[in-house]
Amino acid sequence: MGTLGEHRNEVNLEKRGSFFRSFRSDLKETFLPDDPFRHLEHQSGCAAAGSLVKYFVPVLEWAPKYTLAKLQADLLAGITIASLAVPQGISYARLANLHPIVGLYSSFVPPLIYVVFGSSTNLAVGNTAAVSLFLGSVIGSEISPLESPELYKHMFFKAAFFTGIFEATLGIFRLGILVEFFSRSTITGFMGGTAIVVIMQQLKGVLGMRHFTTKTDVVSVLGSIISHREEWRWESAVFGTCLVILLLLCRHMRAKLPRLFWLPAIAPLLVVVLGGLFAYLIHAEDHGILIVGTVSKGLNPISISHLKFESKYHGVLLKAVLISGFLALSEGIAVGRSLATMKNEQVDGNKEMIAFGMMNIIGSCFSCYLTTGPFSRSAVNFHAGCKTAMSNVVMSMCIMVVLLFLAPLFKYTPLVALSAIIIVAMIGLIKFEEAHRLLKVDKFDFAICVAAFFGVIFFSMTVGLLASVGLSILRALLYVARPTTCKLGNIKGTEAYCDVEQYPDSVLFPNILILKLGSPIYYASAGYLRERILRWIEEEDAIARKGEVNLQYLILDMSGVTSIDNTGISMLAEIHRYVDRRAIKIALTNPRIEITEKLKSSKYLDLIGEQAVFLSVKEAVEACHFTEYKNELV
Amino acid sequence: MGTLGEHRNEVNLEKRGSFFRSFRSDLKETFLPDDPFRHLEHQSGCAAAGSLVKYFVPVLEWAPKYTLAKLQADLLAGITIASLAVPQGISYARLANLHPIVGLYSSFVPPLIYVVFGSSTNLAVGNTAAVSLFLGSVIGSEISPLESPELYKHMFFKAAFFTGIFEATLGIFRLGILVEFFSRSTITGFMGGTAIVVIMQQLKGVLGMRHFTTKTDVVSVLGSIISHREEWRWESAVFGTCLVILLLLCRHMRAKLPRLFWLPAIAPLLVVVLGGLFAYLIHAEDHGILIVGTVSKGLNPISISHLKFESKYHGVLLKAVLISGFLALSEGIAVGRSLATMKNEQVDGNKEMIAFGMMNIIGSCFSCYLTTGPFSRSAVNFHAGCKTAMSNVVMSMCIMVVLLFLAPLFKYTPLVALSAIIIVAMIGLIKFEEAHRLLKVDKFDFAICVAAFFGVIFFSMTVGLLASVGLSILRALLYVARPTTCKLGNIKGTEAYCDVEQYPDSVLFPNILILKLGSPIYYASAGYLRERILRWIEEEDAIARKGEVNLQYLILDMSGVTSIDNTGISMLAEIHRYVDRRAIKIALTNPRIEITEKLKSSKYLDLIGEQAVFLSVKEAVEACHFTEYKNELV
């Protein structure tokens, strides 16, 4: 192919630098995408060390700047979330078949740890419905909560301890990248499915039943409800329905009058208090309405001595730790991030993981089970106007007061009231509009969401999660295996070359085939790309022969290719041999720096000649025309 | 951002068509990348049916056009590969601890089937060292070949039967895409490691030992050799070394004189014949040189009645089928493809899978174990000048003659001769230059290769293969999770905008930040891209402020983005909200058709406005300048 003499713009084919430099930069992009230490570089040793400590212990950063105005805001937010934390803590502990008091314990210690290490200003710490139900079903499958309640409870602390270590480890090694494989579609489907499953579980409480399955799928739960129908109590059902309606009314009023933001936050506590009063007055137990029973006063007992590791249960523990760890992290980080963007703040996912890890490790020594930053509580915290993580301390103090003085009052709380609270909280997690949006924009996303949803409903939470993440990974692999390639044409009156399918009016040259290669050109896609390119050449050849010209030039636009491997380069060499035998000349345009390096060291550029690499498609096309013109002269 | 009035080129933001059309086209690109039925569209019903039958049974295509000249070439090639097939067949069967005759059986029936269904003209069918060793070690771990030789043998037929079904199924459902995940780097490392392991195994034969481990890793093999050192026989070792030197000499001569291509092909047979004669004359058995022993005359016995499925061994069978299936397919398809490109022919991977499947299903009914298209035999076939698959028939006929009349003559073949043949064949599979090339061009490819190599040597063939494929998949996932993004600058005197890292002289505008986004924008990369873009804005802002201007425009070049999902679109919306609050205007350039569709249906384009989408970076930059100019006028 002819060169254009002085008109030609040089393509940079130089190497980027040493292997170790580019390796270091790749590592940095992979594990430190947010480059958290970039401000340290301009500081002296001592100041840098100070910044580093502040980076890992954010409280040192914000506590000195804490003002009275912020305290006022945090006080209000803290009291608001405490009034939600008490009934939710109790309810979710029941969901895990734990004694309600464990739920209160778990809202006392972890927030105090989070406030030291956490970087989010909006997150409210506590136990969540999904994790509670998951842990209950996994641990319950090995240890019966009725037969050996102590062992069952200690397994929860153990799980929290190891999950904490797991979370902190991921954070320290900056493996936040793993959590990114839980897409929004997965979370939407999983949460929706979990909400349905949790609501089904509550039928036990609403119907006042005493026997129930430990499985979570809809078929088992419905079967269990029907087979024990002699336990159904209408009094309980009527009472429960009234409470659900009351809670929904509060939520509805808030939707009408936004300044009543505290109403849905306070409503669960109202339901607990009213329900307890009602149960006390009418002696509910005699009418088939089950109550919580004795709740003893006092702060968290120390549970560190129960963290012994028994090999008998290591399978269950491993499953519980891995899945609940990912669940808790992805919920906590997603909540933190989405609330932060509304305030134009940044949340460092890896730092959050360390904070979650620390609070669970320390929490598990004080009778707390797994906690994270739940959706509902954090959103209430945000809307109540919290300014810093201090609102968690306020909440924790409120819970302390409850534990020290008010706990026995919960004795008369009807189980049906807790079920009503859970049901209403869960209804908000089923997002039909979101699923509809997924369907409209991207069918594959919808499939990922549906897999999680039905997996959870009909099989188990583990199956739903794995199926959905598996589909997500399949999608990523399919993307790599089938890069999009298209034929380019010139947009009239410009120098731009675009997809001819998208711009059917673009100008084509009968003897030049211009292809924009997709990325990456890897082992997994090389075979496909070869077939696709050969097919294009064949088609183009047929068209050219109709116009009685020969296909003479193949221009490969490499501007979109960001990565290539040895198999990919061999494929390009194969294509070169193929077109060479048919007297078609090949040209590359605008290869990226990562590509030129490899094309050069693999000697591919020697094969096609460095003069066959152009800066833009326009220049390559001009060079083709120039060569033709020269040929005509000769 | 201002529009350019009449100067502006319209960006096509229309939809591509119905969901089902694009879904169909995606499916086609995924499973039918070579579009094998494209010629059928222009044919009438009857002719199309004929073409379809010919597509699946290629012999109908080429047999009618078969000429005498072709037969001559195929005869020569067939006899050449037969002379290689006899000693190789026997040797590799011994590698699997099978009776040598099974190796001959396996070179008789499968080639006859392949000739009907196969689409490669160069492939020579037979058993291979890697698969034989793998099957021997996997089946041998459950069933002892010494204690229950019949059961052991039948397991090989069963494995071949189910592997055949597995291969044909992959082919029919066009899942050739799965085999593409075995990259060249994996194959290089795996073959090198296997060669070393196989050579180590041959020390048994060379040293004339009777007891040996069934494990394949180097440590076990060396341990076994040393612990049984009382069995070592120097006569056997000396004889073996002489034969290895003889074989290497033949190969060396061929490298010097290319027209002696038949010499390395005929050499193994020569070694078998000379070795047998020598052993017969000196009564080798009495001198510690082990011989093959009785080999009975006759064609393949029918083994269909032994294909009963016993649940006891289903674990072993499953492992054997899955891994040996992938091994056999990837070797056969890679060989077929690489030889075909040298002749400018095409090989359809999925069709080959069906052919391999058919030959193994039918072969397993006639006492054949797993066969594929081995490297060495196919290369000899190619160099001997084969024209069609008919050379396989010639080879098969030669093997028939051997089985019917000459088999008993192999009685005196010394085992050490077989070991020498295997050793020399294996030396050719250790490709240090290839590994060095991988290291030079792409470090990750080298790591994939090394993982397979050391996995095979120090653990097992399964571990090596899985570790290597695991790394390959990790690479693909990392690619998706960390798309390359770069900042663009204008190349002086052109309309091109390129990476400023690659072209440090390119022109930058202080108030405009131009970023080329990497692809894909998925759940796994959205978090990373957000961090990276925000970091860029921060950096650019710092630079702009030094020059006392404000960053006003953010241009995102989407031309390289070929796929986006809901999480990705949310990320773009987040970026928009972020820059909007800082009064920075956002523009997109040249979004591809797949992207515009989704940006439109997700209402993202309503957010930024359709006038903020430009055809090229040049136009977007011009629009920015135009707006500024207008602002100055006002």
Q: What is the pLDDT of residue B634?
A: 45
CA distance A200 to chain B (A): 30
Radius of gyration of chain B (CA): 31
| Lowest mean pLDDT segment, chosen from B69-73, B342-346, B502-506 | B342-346
Q: Do A578 and B531 touch (CB under 8 A)?
A: no
Contacts of A601 in chain B (CB under 8 A): 440-441
Phi and psi at residue B410, in whole multiples of 5°? -75, 0
Task: Say how far apart CA A411 and CA A283 lie, in whole Å.
Answer: 12
Mean pLDDT for chain A?
Answer: 86
Per-residue pLDDT of A173-227, as tens digits, reads: 888 777 777 888 888 898 899 889 888 888 888 887 877 777 788 888 888 888 8
Contacts of A445 in chain B (CB under 8 A): 565-567
Q: What is the pLDDT of residue A160?
A: 95
Q: Kindly state the average pLDDT of the residues B148-170.
A: 93
Is the separation of the CB atoms in B391 and B81 below 8 Å?
yes
Q: Identify the band that residue B75 occupies on the pLDDT scale cut at 50, 70 and 90.
A: very high
Task: Say how far apart CA B361 and CA B168 lie, in whole Å.
Answer: 9
Q: What is the pLDDT of residue B356?
A: 95
Task: Say how far apart CA B2 and CA B10 lie, in whole Å.
Answer: 14
Percent of chain B with pLDDT over 70: 96
Q: What is the pLDDT of residue A632?
A: 55
Q: Kindly state the average pLDDT of the residues B530-559.
A: 87
Mean pLDDT for chain B?
Answer: 86
User: Is the pLDDT at A7 greater than 60, yes or no?
Assistant: no
Residues with Cβ < 8 Å from B553, sequence gap 6 or more? B1, B511, B512, B513, B584, B585, B586, B587, B624
Q: What is the pLDDT of residue A630?
A: 65
Give which of A76, A28, A49, A36 is closest to A387, Cα–Cα: A76
Task: Say how far apart CA A132 and CA A633 lie, in whole Å.
Answer: 82
User: Tokens at residue A125, please?
Assistant: 């710490």
Counted across chains A and B, CB pairs separated by less than 8 A come out at 258
Per-residue pLDDT of A108-141, as tens digits, reads: 999 999 999 998 888 999 999 889 989 998 998 8
User: Strand pairing partners for B499?
Assistant: B488
Contacts of A565 in chain B (CB under 8 A): 183, 185, 442, 444-445, 475
Per-residue pLDDT of B166-177, as tens digits, reads: 999 999 888 877
Nearest CB neighbour to A594, from listed B180, B472, B484? B484
Q: What is the pLDDT of residue A5?
A: 40
Task: Say how far apart CA B349 and CA B334 lie, in whole Å.
Answer: 9
Q: Do A520 and B177 touch (CB under 8 A)?
A: no
CA distance B42 to chain A (A): 14
Torsion B366-B367-B369-B372 (CA) sign: negative
Q: What is the pLDDT of residue B422?
A: 85
User: Is the pLDDT at B513 greater than 90, yes or no?
Assistant: yes
User: Tokens at residue A467, please?
Assistant: 């199926």
Q: Kindly state the average pLDDT of the residues B494-512.
A: 88
Nearest CB neighbour to A442, from listed B34, B598, B615? B598
| Lowest mean pLDDT segment, chosen from A394-403, B28-37, B436-445, B501-510 | B28-37
Per-residue pLDDT of B269-324, as tens digits, reads: 888 888 889 888 888 777 777 888 888 888 888 888 887 777 788 888 999 999 99
Q: What is the pLDDT of residue B15?
A: 62
Q: What is the pLDDT of residue B8?
A: 61
The verdict on whether omega for the bond into residue B64 sits within 30 degrees of 0, i.e. cis, is no
Task: Give the amino acid at B141.
Answer: S
Q: What is the largest CA-CA distance in chain A?
A: 110
Task: Say how far apart CA A89 and CA A92 lie, in whole Å.
Answer: 6
CA distance B361 to chain A (A): 27
Q: Which of A14, A441, A592 to mutate to test the interface with B (most CBs of B within 10 A)?
A: A441
Strands B512-516 and B486-490: antiparallel
User: Is the pLDDT at A2 greater than 50, yes or no?
Assistant: no
Q: Do A12 and B341 touch (CB under 8 A)?
A: no
Q: Do A523 and B349 touch (CB under 8 A)?
A: no
Burial class of residue B115 (count of CB atoms within 10 Å of its CB; 0-12, 13-18, 19+): buried
Q: What is the pLDDT of residue A564?
A: 92
Q: Do A441 and B567 touch (CB under 8 A)?
A: no
Is the separation of the CB atoms in A229 and A207 below 8 Å?
no
Q: What is the pLDDT of residue A493?
A: 84
Contacts of A16 in chain B (CB under 8 A): 501-502
Question: Is residue B575 classed as helix, strand or coil in its secondary structure?
Answer: helix
Task: Say how far apart CA B544 and CA B511 lie, in whole Å.
Answer: 7
Q: Which of A534, A540, A562, A617 to mutate to test the interface with B (most CBs of B within 10 A)?
A: A562
Q: Do A180 and B569 touch (CB under 8 A)?
A: no
Q: What is the pLDDT of residue A372?
A: 93
Q: Identify the band that residue B5 occupies on the pLDDT scale cut at 50, 70 and 90.
A: very low
CA distance B467 to chain A (A): 16
Q: Which of B442, B577, B599 to mutate to test the interface with A (most CBs of A within 10 A)?
A: B442
User: Is the pLDDT at A253 greater than 60, yes or no?
Assistant: yes
Per-residue pLDDT of A582-619, as tens digits, reads: 889 999 999 988 888 889 888 899 998 888 999 999 99
Q: Do A23 and B441 touch (CB under 8 A)?
A: no
Nearest CB neighbour to A518, from listed B176, B526, B562? B562
Per-residue pLDDT of A368-427, as tens digits, reads: 999 999 888 888 888 888 899 999 999 999 999 999 998 888 888 888 888 888 888 888
Pick the CATH number of B5-16+482-633 from 3.30.750.24, 3.40.1190.20, 3.40.50.620, 3.30.390.50: 3.30.750.24
Q: What is the pLDDT of residue A256?
A: 85
B333: nearest CA in chain A? A527
Phi and psi at residue B548, in whole multiples of 5°? 55, 35
CA distance A378 to chain B (A): 20
Q: Do B566 and A478 touch (CB under 8 A)?
A: no
Nearest CB neighbour to A177, from listed B337, B475, B481? B481
Q: Identify the band that residue A629 occupies on the pLDDT scale cut at 50, 70 and 90.
A: low
User: Tokens at residue A9, please?
Assistant: 């713009």
Q: What is the pLDDT of residue B16?
A: 61
User: Is the pLDDT at B3 greater than 60, yes or no?
Assistant: no
User: Strand pairing partners for B291?
Assistant: B414
A186: nearest CA in chain B? B523
Q: Identify the band that residue A17 occupies on the pLDDT scale cut at 50, 70 and 90.
A: low
Q: What is the pLDDT of residue A6?
A: 41
A493: nearest CA in chain B? B9
Q: What is the pLDDT of residue A152?
A: 93
User: Strand pairing partners for A585?
Assistant: A553
Q: What is the pLDDT of residue B233?
A: 82
The verdict on whether omega for the bond into residue A504 sits within 30 degrees of 0, i.e. cis, is no
Task: Say how far apart CA B255 and CA A407 lie, in whole Å.
Answer: 90
User: Is the pLDDT at A265 greater than 80, yes or no?
Assistant: no
pTM of the model: 0.84
Distance of CA B499 to the CA centre of its chain: 34
| Lowest mean pLDDT segment, chosen from A32-41, A455-464, B52-61 | A32-41
Contacts of B534 in chain A (CB under 8 A): 346
Q: What is the pLDDT of residue A27?
A: 79
Q: Do B181 and A566 touch (CB under 8 A)?
A: no
Contacts of A188 in chain B (CB under 8 A): none
Q: Do B499 and A185 touch (CB under 8 A)?
A: no
A27: nearest CA in chain B? B482
User: Which CATH code for domain A5-11+483-633?
Assistant: 3.30.750.24
Radius of gyration of chain A (CA): 31
Q: Kindly state the average pLDDT of the residues B430-455.
A: 91
Q: What is the pLDDT of residue B631?
A: 61
A567: nearest CA in chain B? B184
Report the interhelical angle of A184-206 vs A129-140 (nearest 10°): 70
Q: Kindly state the average pLDDT of the residues A558-569.
A: 90
Give which of B360, B313, B307 is closest to B139, Cα–Cα: B313
| Lowest mean pLDDT segment, chosen from A2-6, A255-259, A267-271, A460-464 | A2-6
Per-residue pLDDT of A332-382, as tens digits, reads: 888 887 788 777 777 788 889 999 999 999 999 999 999 999 888 888 888
User: Is the pLDDT at A455 greater than 90, yes or no?
Assistant: yes
Q: Identify the band that residue A527 occupies on the pLDDT scale cut at 50, 70 and 90.
A: confident
Strands A497-499 and A512-516: unpaired
Q: What is the pLDDT of residue B164?
A: 95
User: Is the pLDDT at A159 greater than 90, yes or no?
Assistant: yes
Annotated domain spans of chain B: 5-16+482-633, 61-431
Q: What is the pLDDT of residue B6?
A: 41
User: Is the pLDDT at A568 greater than 60, yes or no?
Assistant: yes
